[in-house]
Chains A and B, each alone.
Chain A
Amino acid sequence: MALLQAIDVTKRFGGLTAVNKMNFELKKGEIVSVIGPNGAGKTTFFNTLTGLYRPEEGKILFNGTSLIGLRPDQIAARGIARTFQNIRLFGNMSVIENVLVGMHFHLKQNMVSAILRFDSFKKEELEAEACAYELIKYVGIDTSLSNELAKNLPYGGQRRVEIARALAADPQLLLLDEPAAGMNPQETEEVTNLFRRIRDEKEITILLIEHDMRVVMRISERISVMDYGEKIAEGSPAQIRSNSHVIEAYLGRGAVAGQHEEMVK
């Protein structure tokens, strides 16, 4: 059974149809990329999957149950965690606290136990802290930065904290929105390996949006291409590389038009 299934999902903003009859499937353990030109609707698609937007039409099934109508926090609790295209960390919280926030719905403590500091509370906090600390290490952040405010980290570091925060939710599915944007080649290389490790070691299915084709081609088992809100192609990296629709979508506009026509021939 598919882990995630989107059927005819449509999301409109007034007159603009940002996602149009999107059909999409994801199997457990896959790493799949969504690519497409700017404004193609990739982020909007993610937002409908995570409940930030409610699609006008279509169904979204996760492990066979519908996600439509659930709040984002409920969807997160079902096992979908994400990062954001324009990093959305809690800037005035420390790195480790950001990660701890990711564990929110796994922690059993409540107001009473927090105020009265039961042993169970203390134990849970210590375990959570240790676990957060491990995650910080795991995504490749120098652990001495744990107490640093998130906003003070360099760009690449912030991207990693966001990934650690998402991992802290212990998800089955991880959605990454342009996780390598703004990284230098070495960092890009590192996070690409990190994604593979996340999938292999933690058995988390990964769906990522990425513009950097080196990442996409190296890591994806399958690629889905969006343009104008629609899925225009899907297949293995090799198939996508040679798909004329895709090349058209990417290169068919603007200055490089002539050049690409030759490529197609």
Chain B
Amino acid sequence: MFSKEKFQDFLAKLNTGYTPYVLILVHIMIGAIWVYSSPRSNVAFVVFISSLLTLYGLNTNKIFKLSAGLILALVVMPVLGVRNIFYLEIMFQISVFAALSLGLNIVIGFAGLLDLGYVAFYAVGAYLWGFFGSQQFYAIPYAPGIQPSDLPFLLPGDMFYLFIFIAIIVAALTGILLGLPVLRLRGDYLAIVTLGFGEVIRVLANNLDKPWNLTNGPQGITPVQRPTMPQFAVDGFNNFFGGIIGHTVSKADVYNVFFYLLALLVIVTIIQVVSRLNDSKIGRAWTAIREDETAAIAMGIPLVQMKLAAFATGASFAGAMGVLMAASRTFVSPESFSFMQSIGVLTMVILGGTGSIPGVILGAATVTVLNLQILQGFSLYLSQLRQSDAVIPIINFAWKNLSTQLDPAKYQRLLFGAILILMMIFRPAGLIPAARRQRELAADDEE
């Protein structure tokens, strides 16, 4: 008979010995081949990237995990991504949002401070490079729309790399400036004030086209430069992967691969930084503050200083990602930094598990895929139905008559809202709850 215990036994068996290795490889193969052969299928892509989950979750040794992950990220994904550039875009977005989520996770998950204006720091990074990496400096005297098109660029595109670091510092400083006055506040007030700060940044971005044109207003700044891409890199990529991809890869696509890899690099760095901080007196102090502020301060933890550190660290990640985003899009505009974006990132953190590094990455991936693939896929499907003669049986409603205003791709709020409510009620710790580090305790052997 079927029983829960037997099922769990079965699962446990799947997770021992060589079986997990086989399962992972099979999953990766199926996903990769499927995506390779039908690059437009959404299902195939979901199957493919979920292999990362299998890889993460199943019980295999570290070297296998690491090498499989590396091959997936550095070889398989670029190849598949170039065949359908949309996937590369999704992977890039996942990386960007994962970085933002990891940053917000420090603030919310570790230190327990609800920051509802987090994308403001992202905006700081994006506008920093948006301003210095474009012609905007020379466009200051001109109102939006009337600047001459032949203005020079202020800095060479390769300054991009330097600006990633500058953005880290500037965003961290912004975090400290905002944090200093407000971090003494109670948690729920802090949430509203940060929300306000986020709106302030957005409104400033919208309106600082006068008296001096610093942001070019609602139209945004474009073109923002990318770092240079040498021809040999394009040729090299083609020589190496051209055969298996099946067509010559353009420079634009190599750029996409480049930004994807760069985002990946940033993510890996962030993960390292976050987990190392978490496993030091700083991380312990953050968690202590989250658990009980009064006890923490009585134990000698300087509250404001540690909260500022959390704010600044979280902000710096967003700042770095902002620069990356501005360059990859060659465009910044206030729209990308709305309150909804902040809530989107919050949703990722909550869904994945506050305080849990693998959790928030999963959260970022899930929400991004839901957002970019499922909702948009649904939209596409509806618009196809609208063009057909199909009718809903029983109520006899012709799809044709369905309002064109109904576009599921625009219903992100519904998605975010539903996730937030359901998670809070049913699984407040998230999909992958945070686990405390188990210490080996060398001292144990003494006795």
Do A and B interact directly, with beta carbons closer than 8 Å? yes
The interface residues of chain A lying within 8 Å CB-to-CB of B299 are 73, 76, 81, 101-102, 104, 165-166, 169
Interface residues of A in 74-129 (CB under 8 A from B): 74, 76-77, 81-82, 84, 88-94, 96-97, 100-105, 107, 109-111, 114-115, 117, 121, 125-126, 129
Rounded to whole angstroms, the CA-CA distance of A153 and B163 in the bound complex is 49
Q: Evaluate contact between B280 and A114: CB separation under 8 angstroms.
A: yes
- The residues of B with any CB-CB pair to A shorter than 8 Å are 272-273, 276-277, 279-282, 284-285, 287-288, 291-292, 294-303, 309, 313, 436-439, 441-444
In the complex, what residues of A have CB within 8 A of residue B444's CB?
133, 143
The 3 closest A-B pairs by CB, nearest first: A76-B300, A114-B280, A88-B295
Check if A115 sits within 8 Å of B277, measured CB to CB: yes
Given contacts A88-B294, A97-B284, A101-B285, contact A115 B276 (CB under 8 A): yes
Which residues, 50 to 81 on A, are CB-close (under 8 Å) to B?
A: 50, 52, 71-74, 76-77, 81
Give min CB distance, B442 to chain A, whole Å: 7
* Chain A residue contacts of B273, Cβ below 8 A: 115
B286 smallest CB distance to A (angstroms)? 10
- Cβ–Cβ contact A114 & B300, under 8 A: no
CB contacts (< 8 Å) of A130 on chain B: these are 442-443
Residue A251 lies at the interface, judged by CB distance under 8 Å to chain B: no
CB contact between B443 and one of A104, A114, A133 (< 8 Å): that residue: A133
**Is A44's beta carbon under 8 Å from chain B?**
no
CB <8 Å contact, A147 and B439: yes
A76 and B301 alpha carbons, distance in the complex (Å): 9
| 18 new A-B contacts at CB < 8 Å, known A104-B284, A146-B441 | A73-B303, A76-B298, A76-B299, A76-B300, A88-B294, A89-B291, A90-B287, A90-B288, A92-B287, A92-B291, A92-B436, A96-B441, A97-B287, A105-B300, A111-B282, A115-B273, A146-B439, A147-B439
Q: Which residues of A contact B301 (CB under 8 A)?
A: 73, 101, 104-105
Q: Is A134 close to B, CB under 8 A?
A: yes
Is A198 at the interface (CB under 8 A from chain B)? no
Could you list 20 examples of A-B contacts with CB < 8 Å?
A50-B298, A71-B302, A76-B298, A84-B298, A90-B287, A90-B288, A90-B292, A97-B284, A104-B285, A105-B300, A109-B281, A109-B282, A110-B282, A114-B281, A114-B282, A115-B276, A121-B280, A129-B439, A129-B442, A133-B441
Closest chain B CB from A144 CB (angstroms): 9
Question: Whole-angstrom distance from the CB of A227 to the nearest CB of chain B?
Answer: 26
Query: A104-B285, A125-B280 are known contacts. Are A73 and B292 too (CB-CB below 8 A)?
Result: no
Q: Give the distance to chain B from A68, nearest Cβ to Cβ, in Å.
A: 17
Q: Is A217 in the interface zone, CB < 8 Å from B?
A: no
Instruction: Tell me the bound Cα distance from A130 to B281 in angstroms.
Output: 15
Distance of A262 Cα from B173 Cα, bound (Å): 71
Known: A97-B436, A149-B436. A71 touches B288 (CB 8 A): no
Q: Are B284 and A101 in contact (CB under 8 A)?
A: yes
Report the bound CA distance from A110 to B302 in whole Å. 14
In Å, the complex CA distance between A107 and B280 comes to: 10
Chain B residues, Cβ within 8 Å of A109: 280-282
User: In the assembled complex, which residues on chain B have CB atoms less than 8 Å from the CB atom of A102?
Assistant: 299-300
Write the nearest CB–CB distance from B404 to chain A, whole angstroms.
Answer: 49
Chain A residue numbers with a CB within 8 Å of B277 are 111, 114-115
Mask: chain A, 147-161; 1 = CB below 8 Å from B; 0 = not: 101000000000000
A90–B444 CA distance with the chains assembled, in angstroms: 23
Interface pair B292/A104, CB less than 8 Å apart: no
Say yes or no: B441 contacts A129, CB within 8 Å. Answer: yes
Are B287 and A104 in contact, with the CB atoms below 8 A? Answer: no
Known A109-B280, A111-B282; contact A52-B298, beta-carbon cutoff 8 A: yes
Q: Which residue of B lies closest to A113 (CB)?
A: B280
CA distance A100 to B436 in the complex (A): 13
User: B421 CB to closest chain A CB, in angstroms?
Assistant: 23
* Complex Cα spacing A31 to B243, Å: 82
For the complex, give the distance between the alpha carbons of A228 and B282 in Å.
41
State the CA gap A147–B444 with chains docked (Å): 12
The reply to whether B295 and A84 contact each other, CB–CB distance below 8 Å, is yes
Q: How far, in angstroms, from A115 to B276 measured CA to CA in the complex? A: 6
Indicate if the CB atoms of B300 and A169 lie closer than 8 Å: yes
For A76, the chain B residues whose CB sits under 8 A away are 297-300
Bound CA–CA A81/B288 (angstroms): 16
Contacts of B297 in A (CB 8 A): 52, 71-73, 76
| Shortest distance from the beta carbon of A103 to any chain B beta carbon, whole Å | 8
Residues in B with CB closer than 8 Å to A77 are 300
Given contacts A76-B300, A104-B281, A133-B441, contact A114 B276 (CB under 8 A): yes
